[in-house]
Amino acid sequence: MSFFGLDCTRKKEREEERKIRANDREYNLSFKYATNSIKTSKYNPFTFLPLNLFEQFQRIANAYFLFLLILQVIPAISSLSWFTTVVPLVLVLSVTAAKDAIDDINRHRSDRKVNNRKVNVLISGKLISEKWMNVQVGDIIKLENNQFVTADLLLLSSSEPLNLIYIETAELDGETNLKVKQALTVTGDMGDNLEALAAFNGEVCCEPPNNRLDRFMGTLTFDSQKYSLDNERVLLRGCTLRNTDWCFGLVLFAGPETKLMQNCGKSTFKRTSIDRLMNVLVLFIFGLLALMCIILAVGNWIWENHAGSKFKAFLPREENTVFSAFLTFWSYIIILNTVVPISLYVSMEVIRLGNSYYINWDRTMYHAQTDTPAEARTTTLNEDLGQIKYVFSDKTGTLTQNIMTFNKCSINGKSYGDVIDHYSGQSLEITEEMTPVDFSFNRLADPKFLFYDHSLVEGVKLELPDVHAFFRLLALCHTVMAEEKREGDLVYQAQSPDEGALVTAARNFGFVFRSRSPETVTIEEMGVQRSYELLAILDFNNVRKRMSVIVRNPEGKLSLYCKGADTIIYERLHPSCSEVMKVTTEHLNEFAGEGLRTLVLAYKDLDEEYFSEWKQRHHESSVGLEDREEKLEKLYEEIEKDMMLIGATAIEDKLQDGVAQTIELLARAEIKIWVLTGDKQETAENIGYSCNLLREEMNDVFIVAANSPEEVRQELRDARLKMCPDTEQDKFLIPEIILGNIPKVVQDENVNGEYGLVINGHSLAFALESNMELEFLRTACMCKTVICCRVTPLQKAQVVELVKKYKKAVTLAIGDGANDVNMIKAHIGVGISGQEGMQAVLSSDFSFAQFRFLQRLLLVHGRWSYLRMCKFLRYFFYKNFTFTFVHFWYAFFCGFSAQTVYDEGYITLYNLVYTALPVLGMSLFDQDVNAGWSLEYPQLYLPGQLSQYFSKHAFMMCALHSWYSSLVLFFVPYAATYDTARDDGKDGADYQSFALITQTCLTVTMCVQLGLDLSYWTVVNHLFVWGSLGMFFILTFAMYTDGLFQLRPSSFAFIGTAKNCLNQPNVWLTVVLTAILCVLPVVGYRFIYSQISPTINEKVRYKVCQMKEPAPRPRRTRLSRRSTRRSGYAFSHAHGYGDLVTSGRFLRRNALTSSMGLIPTGRSPGFKPTGWSAGYSPVGREQNPKQKVEPTSLQLFRAVKDSLF
């Protein structure tokens, strides 16, 4: 169940603040802090049976059947044997208990696995290997490279210079780029000195346990000094230590009190929309049952008063007719209880379990590269997958791979990156068969980097000044850290994958960034090592949208290098660049049309005297206390002007395979996709265009980025009025009465055209306030796509909850990190597994490795599951209502005596044997069209969103059909046997013969009706239908023999009835006539309706039959993107990182010294091409090689056009 364990229990007493003393277990134990042990299991061998039964009898249905069982053991009431209820009840309880036991055993195993992991703990001055479960708050532990962080720790010291460490937070946020943490100097000086660490007695006072991943507040008191602690000093459970030999940490929060575990929240029980509808219908059925029993009880009272005295000689009579009616009421409660059969719930669980296994077994949803199959982690929500209206998706790790690749560039007006056909002059689509650029001339080249335009490397070799200046800027203007533990083995650590991709590109083209110190940047230019003096870093922030460095080259020349968003850089260029700027703008538009992220590069030569004076002013402003930021910004503006344009870069934020095709298919299925991401607005917008969520063809894309509630409200209102000018302010809410409650539901509003909405986290905070949430929801739901950027995990959950609360729609949320856990508590939660974080998977209902598998999960498995469940419910209610209503009609002919029309054996076996397997076969194997056609026509998904297959209306139609069929099933056999004689002249109208004929008619009719409902006959369906029919006759003849009668006369009283009755031709004629009359209205209705107003399913099935073609094999298509929109600024690292570079706290040791010169080394033997260019992986991983996967969505055959629907 859990990778790190999931225990979401809360302390009974609210903790105001936490006090911890290092290396003092006795002191810390006095506060009764949680240990690091995880417990997710619910039962133990002693508590399992009572607790499980207690939970099961909290369900209304189980308690109802237990009540019936109690009634059946009262002789004065029951006319049925107790086993007719106890057998199915015990079966239900046993199956559910076995399932719960298996789940809990798995939780026990998971708990043991997590709790028994080992970590080194400092005890009495020695490092002792301890189990995770034995770690306590206040302990000092040692972590080594690639180890999971055991608990929430205060970083004390590390193996890296100035006590820095690198962590991967994939488990928390799904991002694989490394984060930097730094210990306090006072603790970092202890290093790995065990004596000093053992003597450390610092006291920490901090916030109590909470779920805020992005903040921490506390103080450390040591040697009479108090030091401030923030999130930069804390390592959270769920992180992984990377590229750091070792570190020591003090345990702050353990086990269930860690932020990771606090984020899992309270586990909520999810029910499908069909379950919620069933609750309403079951209450209606109970009311109907009570009404029928009251009618029959009144009938008994009337009959006893008028005719009962005539039967004194045959039946004992209750003199008190009112009491007789009272007993009759309860007797009929028992007899008519089959309107809510317990087998209904057993069958539903079996169907859901079977459809869950289909998901687990689906090979097309298996990701071979990471050996990750799709997994249905719950078996209770399958049919909701066929009714999804809103999909909420994270971006990083869900839509994208978080891998940036350097694809194209523009240098001095010339575009590079396309492969041109020498004969036609047209650019070719890049494939794996093409020969990439040979970088063997560069011994430091990254073998995973691929580039296919050979003209660029020729420009480097020819030493074209502009090309060299371009790559020199990329090698100098950044905040990347280099690590070289072995000669020539460079590993770049970048806070943003964008920067890593650009520096890697410069590295391969001969400008290799080797190392940095606070004062210098060392690069290798075409084999010659050069050290540049780093004079200033003008750092990036969200307002500047650019960064610059000022350096002095070895010859003493001063230069400013700048990169940033095109609109920002263009405003600061020298007028002489106008011609180059025009051409570069055309290239930028081309890059944007392909969904690439762009940066513009520029430089400026500086005068020595001017720079000295500027630097002095810069120093004065940086140490000032008043208006520091404003003064520095003016200085930056002053020096970053009249720059010379060098060119532009184009980076692909690699989408996962098939994302764009999947989104296109989901959009055609009328599923709205909302992206909720913590990324900045430009990045999120860019991804929206890349994956076709936002399109140039849209009528408008609204940007809401206001800074006050009034402005946000006005922008939302303006957007809504533009989409629908005639919209009314107050008529968008409709009340929906559910069990006495009247919740407000925001109705769908018709909009002409397609619109998109982008809103940032600051504006979203205002939009989610109670007085504005409906305005936001109303506007957002009118848009085809919504992108919320810079949102917190809490805001993600709030957005999902808002839609769940006010929209009568089923929602699905998909993510891959701990920051998505609260979000994926939508109606359906999907976790992305694989190389990213597993925390979302642990809290999800379904999981798989790639976003593209979502199309098959919804359009195939989800639609089939919903269709099958709806067919099952319609048929099940039909067969049981029909079965029960016959009892009702019979009561008028048996003196309301609570006598059953069927024998007890048939009543017991009807739902368990005779009709169980056929309906299960339909519910597990039926298909209207196969998987290929389901993906070919996503419009088939629409009826599920509208709940057309099963609703209150469908239920009432089913009840009416049952009412009609019950009349036919009772009165046709009644009329056929009334006052008749057998072939041998004996009377043929006895009770037992009538009961058998009615049973036979009912069983045959149910099989015929099921055959009409089946769309897809399989061998299993044939076996179940004909086998059940055969079983009915076999068991009927077996139970009506004299042998069983002699064993138990009271239970097998119908001796010889089958043999004497079923050999009469008129009986079989009655069976055939009854079956025809029962199904005739259904056949007629379906025929007429299909001619007048055919459903989309009927249209598609007709076209498929007409074409006589096999199902289309999905094929991968390359979606072309043509956009005039400028792509987002490809630069996402946090503000202030440059200060760390220049402050003397450099992140890595100096690179190894190496000899000059270029040594051809060639490709490594294991090298495999992976795409246009190798992706920069922030943790130094090899990029996933391309694989031959099953195509996902688009079609070979388009015989049926969308216009038909």
Torsion of CA 948, 953, 955, 961, to 10 degrees: -110
Cβ 133 vs Cβ 254: under 8 Å? no
Look up 173 and say whether it is catalytic.
Answer: no
User: Which residues are within 8 A (CB) of 472 and not within 5 positions of it... i.e. 6 or more apart?
Assistant: 506, 511, 523, 525, 561
Measure the CA–CA gap between 42 and 103, rounded to whole angstroms: 10
C-alpha dist (Å) from residue 530 to 145, 533, 1138: 32, 10, 21
Beta pairing class for 828-832 and 644-655: unpaired
Measure the CA–CA gap between 863 and 941, rounded to whole angstroms: 6
* From 7, 394, 446, 928, the catalytic residue: 394
Q: What are phi and psi of 223, to 5 degrees?
A: 55, 45
Beta pairing class for 218-222 and 203-206: antiparallel
Measure the CA–CA gap between 493 and 1147, rounded to whole angstroms: 9
Assign residue 574 a region (left: φ > 0; alpha: ψ between -120 and 50; beta: otherwise). beta
Assign residue 24 a region (left: φ > 0; alpha: ψ between -120 and 50; beta: otherwise). beta
Measure the CA–CA gap between 111 and 986, rounded to whole angstroms: 73
What is the 3 state secondary structure string of 332-382? HHHHHHHHCCHHHHHHHHHHHHHHHHHHHHCHHHCECCCCECCEECCCCCH
Chain centroid offset of residue 1023 CA:
38
SS3 46: coil
Measure the CA–CA gap between 489 and 964, rounded to whole angstroms: 81
Torsion of CA 861, 863, 864, 865, to 10 degrees: 80
Cβ 847 vs Cβ 830: under 8 Å? yes
SS3 841: helix
Residue 1026 burial (CB count, 10 A) = 12
- At residue 1156's C-alpha, the angle toward residues 1150 and 1161, to 5°, is 100
Residue with tokens 């949680």: 34
Measure the CA–CA gap between 545 and 179, rounded to whole angstroms: 21
- At residue 462's C-alpha, the angle toward residues 456 and 463, to 5°, is 95
DSSP summary character for residue 1030 = H
Measure the CA–CA gap between 446 and 448, rounded to whole angstroms: 5
Torsion of CA 547, 550, 551, 555, to 10 degrees: 130
SS3 760: strand
Handedness of CA 622, 624, 625, 626 (dihedral sign): negative
User: Which residues are within 8 A (CB) of 243 and not within 5 positions of it... i.e. 6 or more apart?
Assistant: 145, 166, 178, 483, 491, 493, 1179, 1180
Closest CA to 796 of 4, 237, 262, 173: 173
Starting at the earlier edge strand, list the strands of the sheet with 203-206.
18-21, 203-206, 218-222, 225-229
Angle between helices 273-306 and 952-977 (to 10 degrees): 40
Measure the CA–CA gap between 830 and 608, rounded to whole angstroms: 59
Residues noted as catalytic = 394
